[in-house]
Amino acid sequence: MGQAWKFGDNIDTDQIIPSQYLVLPTIQDMAKHTMEPQNPDFSKAFQTGDILVGEVNFGCGSSREQAPLVLKELGVRVIIALDFARIFFRNCINNGILPIEHPCAKEISDKDQLTIDLSKGEIHNQTTGKTYLFNKIEGYLAEILNAGGLSEYIANKKGSADD
């Protein structure tokens, strides 16, 4: 269970991690500035397991993979939005973050308490009492997600081929 952090349309990757922090030496250093233009306290207040919720075109803009990486560093495992920008969607999957495209994003408010059951494909909003079903990701993409990301998937495959 986690708290929803609700944002609006077109949350771009400059909001998730502003350009000037990309030269910091580690993802941990960058993560302190996550979502800073939208909410300067975000990185301090976000708890592992909380859920990011946006509306239209979440993750648009730059291809910087530091965006999903700082989110992962803060404990983001799932993002719900009406739709995602293409490169960000791929970058999330490649880093083991599940992007859920679902119209319920419109009905979720900031600070709602959400429970997500990945095996059932179910989002439950405890604050409003509503439950939503989503299409689980299957096949190749599910294998990448289950491995924790594309790198781990490739490393695992290499490992099993070497055995």
Partner 1 sequence: MSTQTNGMTATEYIIACHANRDRVTPGEIVNVSVDLCMSNDATTLLTDKIMKERMKTPTVWDPSRVVIIIDHQVPADSVDTSIVQEQMAKLVEAQKIDKFHTTDGVCHQVMLENYVTPGALIMGADSHTCSYGSIGSVSSGIGSTDLAAIWASGETWLKVPETIRFILNGQLKPYVSAKDVALHIINQVRANGLTYKAMELAGPGVSTLDVPERFTICNMAVEAGAKCTMVIPDDKVISFFADLNRPIQDQTILSRLQETQNSPCASEINVDLDALEPLIACPHYVDNVRPLSEIQGLKIGQTFLGSCTNGRIEDLREGANLLKGKKVAPNMRFLVTPASVRVYKQALAEGLIEIFMDAGAVVNHPGCSTCWGAHQGILGPGQRMVTTGNRNFKGRAGSPDSEIYLASPSVVVASAITGELTHPKEVV
Contact footprint for partner 1 (CB under 8 A): 9-10, 12, 14-15, 18-20, 22-25, 36-38, 56-57, 60-66, 68-69, 83, 85-87, 90-91, 94-95, 140, 149-152, 154-155, 158
State the nearest-atom distance from the C-beta of 74 to partner 1, in Å. 17
Ramachandran angles phi, psi of 131, nearest 5° = -125, 140
Contact predicate 103/55, CB 8 Å: no
Q: Which is nearer to partner 1, 14 or 122 (CB)?
A: 14
Q: Which is nearer to partner 1, 142 or 154 (CB)?
A: 154
State the nearest-atom distance from the C-beta of 122 to partner 1, in Å. 26
Give all strands of the β-sheet with 78-81 in edge-to-edge order.
Answer: 98-101, 78-81, 51-53, 2-6, 113-117, 122-125, 130-133
State the nearest-atom distance from the C-beta of 94 to partner 1, in Å. 4
Type and span of the H or E element at 81: strand 78-81
